[in-house]
Amino acid sequence: MRRLVLFFGVATVVVIAAAAAVLWIWDGGRMQSSAGEALVGGPFALTDQHGQPVTEQDFAGRYMLIYFGYTYCPDVCPMSLTNMVAALDRLPPEQVGQVVPILITIDPERDTVEQLASYAPLFDPRLVALTGSEDEVRAAAKAYRVYYHKAEAGADTEDYLVDHSTFVYLMGPDGKYLTHFGLNASPEEMAETIGNEIAASS
């Protein structure tokens, strides 16, 4: 009986993991419609770490390197932001000024303007960190097809994790989607792709 329970337990985990992997691949692959137009990106209206209102229009003419995450993230977000900055540091001087690294929080409850103001400089003075109301953040995440879900909070409701997509999006000077990077992309690969995109359009 115990063995049977164990078997079904393991089988369930395997099935769930396989389903998650399929969904992940499907979602990751679907950045463009069948007509080839990008499904990722769009307008957003948020607030930066200085308390200033910011929309995608503020970055018109520059490339946006956008990541959705949160400052309380213990591992993945710090790594992704570190990689983004490391990629920028590998770009030649004439290109680096054309790219704005942006963090959009998916945890506006804790990621206030003040919290972002103390967090963003830990990575880079160039990093723009954006927050907003629950609705504003949800709209931005939806436009970028970003998934996030607040994990079950424990007794201490201030202490919770947020599951979230981990893609880094490269958007063109027109605000349109160019490409994205997964967690495994190295700063070297990111820098090369970004550099090629800039070179191709200039």
- Angle, helix 187-201 to helix 76-89, in steps of 10 degrees: 50
Please name every residue paired with 179 in a beta bridge, in sequence order, or none if there are none.
Answer: 170
**Is residue 101 near Ni ion by the rule CB under 5 A?**
no
Which phi-psi region, left, alpha or beta, contains residue 194 (left: φ > 0; alpha: ψ -120 to 50)?
alpha
Shortest separation between residue 76's beta carbon and Ni ion, angstroms:
4
Interface with Ni ion: number of residues (CB under 5 A): 4
Closer residue to Ni ion, CB minimum distance, 76 or 100: 76
Query: At closest approach, how far in Å is the CB of 154 from Ni ion?
Result: 18
Token pair 């929080």 is found at 105
Q: Is 69 in the site for Ni ion (CB under 5 A)?
A: yes
Q: Considering beta carbons, is residue 38 or 86 the nearer one to Ni ion?
A: 86
- Interface residue with Ni ion, options 76, 85, 96, 143 (CB under 5 A): 76
Residue at shortest CB range from Ni ion = 73
Q: Using the minimum distance from each CB to Ni ion, give the nearer residue, 73 or 91.
A: 73
Q: How far apart are CA 20 and CA 26, in angstroms?
A: 10
Q: CA separation (Å) from 187 to 82, 100, 150, 182?
A: 9, 15, 29, 11
Distance of closest approach, residue 147 Cβ to Ni ion, in angstroms: 12
Cα–Cα distance measured from residue 149 to residue 138, given in angstroms and rounded to the nearest whole number: 11
Q: Considering the complex, what minimum distance in angstroms separates the CB of residue 74 from Ni ion?
A: 8
Q: Which of 73, 88, 141, 168 binds Ni ion (CB under 5 A)?
A: 73
Helices (H), the chain: 2-29, 76-89, 93-96, 113-119, 134-143, 187-201
> Which residue in 122, 120, 125, 83 sits closest to 103, CA to CA?
120
Please report whether residue 161 would count as binding Ni ion according to CB under 5 A: no
State the nearest-atom distance from the C-beta of 167 to Ni ion, in Å.
12
Residue 77 is a binding residue for Ni ion (CB under 5 A): yes
- Cβ proximity to Ni ion: between 123 and 175 the closer is 123
Which residues of the shown chain bind Ni ion in the complex (CB under 5 A)?
69, 73, 76-77
